[in-house]
Chain A
Amino acid sequence: MKEILSGNEAIARGAFEAGCRVACAYPGTPSTEILENTITYKEIDSSWAPNEKVALEVGIGASFGGARALVTMKHVGVNVAADPLFTLSYTGVNGGLVLVTADDPEMHSSQNEQDNRNYAKFAKVPLLEPSDSQECKEFTRLAFRLSEQYDTPVLLRTTTRISHSKSVVELGERVTDLAEPTLVKNAAKLVMLPGNARVRHPLVEERIARLSRDGVTMSLNRLEMRDSTIGIITSGVCYQYVREVMPQASTLKLGMVHPLPHDLICKFSAQVDKLYVVEELDPFIEEQVKAMGIDATGKEIFPLCGELTPGRIRKAFASIGAVLAPPAEAAPEKLPPRPPNMCPGCPHRGVFFALNQLKAYVTGDIGCYTLGFMPPLSAMDTCICMGASVGMATGVTKVVSDEEKKKVVAVIGDSTFLHTGVGGLMDMVYNQSPATLVILDNRITAMTGRQDNPASGFTLMDEPTNRIDFPLLCKALGVKHIRVINPLDLDQTRRVLQEEMNRPEPSVIITDKPCVLVKREGVFQKGPLYAVEVEKCTGCRACLKIGCPAIEWRPAGDGTRKGKAFIDPLLCTGCDVCRQLCKFDAIGRTK
């Protein structure tokens, strides 16, 4: 049977077919939909972990217990999971373990575009890279087999264009001949104390050498001879672009990008006149090919930054006369930009409005609320990585004047706080930073598409579970000043922020309003809608300062700056924030 699947859906399908029993992840674009699809297979226990490190540790436990386990994350998530990964490389696995790293060249939805192929080399584990959805499924199955065969975790690397592209996939059946999981003690292999680890390390080196040799005959590394004047080594989505732009060129398509099949590369280079390496981001393959003493062209003509596209590859080959230059790009149409925006009724809006008014120095974090950086709210000053806001606020208060210390506010969402923010708050209290922490508790991991988390009260499988009590958690960490506020009440928000910012001790403010997109019944409720009374509206534009997409400025049309505000009833959620900004009582509830 054939279906059109995204790369993420196909990986979930591949895990199902491979007999995978446990799937664990922290959501992160572009990886999120993998776990949202493993839940459709009842044979797989799927769960969200509070962060990627925990997700991998859950996977390792399942593997040591004897089951096949899938762990997925976005590229930067592997930074968080790197600690267990590097030692897992030494212990190896029991049941197969596949770690999906979904990279994001071009940073469509990320803070950096690190190339996680480097992790494979660094941790000395094999890395497979599929080039379409069919391969996503097949390589996932293969990755589980290789994991057990070579006693190693296997990285499966996708990029946004693989994760989120859809193509036709032929479905298969689930394997049924796997052993039942059971506890088996093997301390010499699984307890990584120096004595044991010293025994394991040489095995890791032997393993990677063996994989490199065996990779020569693995079907996932494919030599395709066409015209021999140009030979291209490539992998992943770049293979598809190369076939599109250079249909006559010979290709060595690598399905396993680490370790490289050295003998196959030598064979290919000997059969072509000129060798190129087409890869996104780092010269990962290119450097190794050159280290083998083989002449190849790569990053001299291909960009190091951003994703590749058929057009960018054509341009590079055209620069050396290998293909005709693409037609000159049309000048982009001059039009107003359309950036993403917080939703109408978003509970974050009022907080950033108040922070802007208070001229706070805001160490920010990763989530929808990072959009608080954008005008007109313009109230975020830093954003580094998940959880960084808290520790950074402590760091800033260590160096600035007492007066400036009062300006320092860390802002973090519920899911991000639980991900890696708790440790920062522990430090803030332990070392008595006077900074203020705002936890924006909207009861969901919103940015990645509304995933549950340990503070939402539900699991990925939609089962009710414990809901973390934030005030109690903060109290346990030693915070003495904990305020819970309604972020839709602007006066309260501003007043409490001001009080806690002035306080020369650590303090936490928790906002208590749900994301407007939460679909679960009883969480978010629309209020009565609001409308502008045209006679009362003076056109002062105060309500426009919150940047709500439901409020529109309607010019008078007489060529002056005059006009009036209008609230779109289809978009308004009745949050009441704009009403509080209107000094002329022109905004009121509709009947």
Chain B
Amino acid sequence: MSAKITNILLVGVGGQGILLASEILSETCMLAGFDVKKSEIHGMSQRGGSVVSHVRYGAEVFSPIVPEGEGDILFGFELMETCRSLGLLKPGAAVVANDLKIAPPSVLMGQETYPEGLVERISAQFPDFLLVDGQKLAIEAGNPRAANTALLGAVSKRLDIAEQYWLKALEKMVPRKALEVNQKAFLMGRSL
């Protein structure tokens, strides 16, 4: 195991299930034998605000938050929030984003419009950019609610952790009756 620390940021809108996704990710890292830390701000997360969750793993992790400008992978659950967090990344970082737009209050109220051209803005700065239609994959897997797991599958491909640990973590964290669909969604995302 090298001394390298991998820094992952999971970003989106409160209520999207980001905390559960980051729990599954952290569990996977631990099962694979890494030291892992994660951090996020609770409290406002249910009220539709921006959410950023930090996950770091490696041989020995100190800070629970990703040092500014050192993010290796950005896992975006929503396009505008993905774009908002680009500054946390290092040059050459990978971005995996859900092809989903959730209007913020000012857009809902018609004071401004949802920004155009976000995909181009992201890919111009980070060529290693994968846009995933999480919802579509989840429906194909059998349940639209498994979208986050499909996205996690796409992210997993970019991390040096064997498939078995991911599946083990899913088994531990996902309720039994939803497990099969989530495993399927995960593998579909992973094969992208």
Which residues of A does B touch, CB under 8 Å? 2, 4, 29-30, 33, 108-109, 132, 160-161, 164-168, 237, 240-241, 243-245, 309-311, 314, 326-327, 329-333, 335-343, 368, 371, 376, 447-449, 517, 541, 544, 547, 549, 551-553, 555, 563
Contact = CB atoms under 8 A, between A and B. Distances in A.
Given A29-B42, A340-B48, 10 more contacts: A4-B26, A165-B38, A167-B61, A240-B62, A241-B62, A244-B63, A338-B105, A341-B47, A447-B43, A553-B110
A166 B112 CA distance: 38
B81 A338 contact: yes
Contacts of A547: 105, 108-109
Given A4-B26, A329-B87, A338-B48, A310 B67 contact: yes
A336 B37 contact: no
B161 interface: no
Contacts, number: 157
B106 A337 contact: yes
Nearest to B115: A335
A311 B37 contact: no
Contacts of A376: 109
Of listed B35, B38, B63, B106, residue having the most chain A CB within 10 A: B63
A332 B37 contact: no
B26 A310 contact: no
Nearest to B5: A244
- Cβ-closest 8 pairs across A and B: A553-B110, A311-B68, A340-B47, A165-B64, A310-B67, A340-B49, A109-B43, A165-B39
A310 B80 contact: no
A416 to B, nearest CB: 16
B69 A339 contact: no
A166 B38 contact: yes
Interface in B14-69: 14, 23, 26-27, 30, 35-44, 46-50, 61-65, 67-69
B121 interface: yes
A256 B76 CA distance: 40
Contact of B108 (A245, A330, A551): A551
A237 B64 contact: yes
B74 interface: no
B113 interface: yes
A147 to B, nearest CB: 28
B110 to A, nearest CB: 3
A337 B104 contact: yes
B65 A309 contact: yes
Contacts of B64: 132, 161, 165-167, 237, 240
5 contacts: A329-B87, A340-B47, A544-B109, A551-B108, A555-B110
Contact of B39 (A109, A161, A448, A517): A161
B137 interface: no
Interface string B86-97: 110000000000
B114 to A, nearest CB: 8
Contacts of A166: 23, 26, 37-39, 64
Max chain A C-beta neighbours (<10 A), residue from B37, B68, B83, B105: B105
Given A166-B38, A335-B83, A447-B43, A310 B68 contact: yes
Contacts of A549: 48, 105, 108
A332 B80 CA distance: 12
Nearest to B81: A338
A243 B56 CA distance: 15
Contacts of B84: 332-333, 335, 338
Contacts of B48: 338, 340-341, 343, 549
Contacts of A314: 67
B103 interface: yes
Contact of B37 (A30, A132, A329, A371): A132
B139 interface: no
B107 interface: yes
A109 B80 CA distance: 23
Contacts of B121: 333
A553 B108 contact: yes
A388 to B, nearest CB: 20
Nearest to B13: A338
A108 B41 CA distance: 7
Contact of B69 (A326, A343, A555): A326
Contacts of B37: 132, 165-167
A168 B36 contact: yes
A544 B47 contact: no
Contacts of B86: 330, 333
Contacts of A517: 46
Contacts of A339: 49, 105
A160 B41 contact: yes
A563 B105 CA distance: 16
B105 A161 contact: no
A33 B87 CA distance: 31
Interface centre among B35, B46, B87 (most CB of A within 10 A): B46
